[in-house]
Chains A and B, each alone.
Chain A
Amino acid sequence: MSSALLESLQQLPFAVTIAQSEWLFPTLETLHVMALTAVVGTVLKIDLRLLGLTDRERPFSALARQVLPWTWGCFAMAAMTGLLMFAAKAVTYWADIPFRIKFGCIALAGINMAYFHLVGARDRASWDLGPAPWRAKLAGMTSVALWITVVAAGRWIGFTT
């Protein structure tokens, strides 16, 4: 992303307001952390079921039906608050390595989720009540690793910006 674009984003009235306010940024950060913990918690709940570590007695489809709407709702809130915070310090964030790692891992987690739903979960009916096959386990393991990295990188941003 060009620095001119980042700077013009930072100069937008709403971005200036966030950057100058004493309480807006911390409030957005609080909402972002709440939403992100809910995203990570719900995703890990699904992943741990795939890995056969929790909720083994529950059908996978029932668990996914219960949990995934919360994941998407909270993801939307995390993305929105994240975008607002990014706009306030766009130049600083874009140059920050942990920020890029976090962003990259979220993108990879999205690809992993899409792959799982399109390929890994095609034969879901055959393992819905029992242990997941290795393809689904692999997707679950990848997801766990990526989301833990998202949290770690997100926390590191606070120490490097």
Chain B
Amino acid sequence: MLGEFCDWLAGTPVSQAFQARGWFVPAVQTVHILAISFLSVALGMLSFELIVRRSLPTRDGVRRFAQVFWLSLGVLLATGVLLTVTEPVRELLSSVFRAKMILVMVLAAVVGWLQTRVRRRPGGLDLAARHDGAARVCGLLLLLLSVAIMTAGRWIAYV
């Protein structure tokens, strides 16, 4: 079923047009990687704050992080769709690709949860006093998810 869909997608005029241009995939991948750069730095800095300082940043800090996160994620999804349309068999039939997509959804859910928690409390959350563990777990989760997603992204080419 999925295999048939991939064959159909690969045969569409749009996919054929993308496939015919040798520069298309590397160019889109370049934009994809640049978006990963912004996302990974934003996530890395937030995780560092949560794990080492054991506190959630202020509402303003989370707002700035969320702007970078959702904008980068939007670019990643758009470029990801273009890459999938160009090479549907490579992406959609790969178990690593599917694992990556699930991890991306979990990451988005964790960030959404964090954003909602902070939005509800003026001045943000300070977990240092009562919930050292919660801030650490949240930071570790974000860090592990981003490392796992990047690892999966690279291993799609090999598995």
Contacts and interface: CB of A to CB of B under 8 A. Distances in A.
Interface of A: 26, 29-30, 33-34, 37-38, 40-42, 44-45, 66, 70, 148, 151-152, 154-156, 158-159
B41 A45 contact: yes
Given A41-B38, A44-B38, A70 B44 contact: yes
Contacts, number: 61
Contacts of B157: 26, 158
Interface stretch (B23-31, B121-129, B132-140): B23-31
B16 interface: no
A33 B33 contact: yes
B38 A151 contact: no
Contact of B41 (A29, A38, A156): A38
Interface of B is mostly: helix
Interface residues on B, range: 20 to 34
B150 A37 contact: yes
A151 B150 contact: no
Given A30-B150, A33-B154, 6 more contacts: A37-B33, A42-B41, A152-B27, A155-B26, A155-B30, A155-B33
Contacts of B150: 30, 33-34, 37
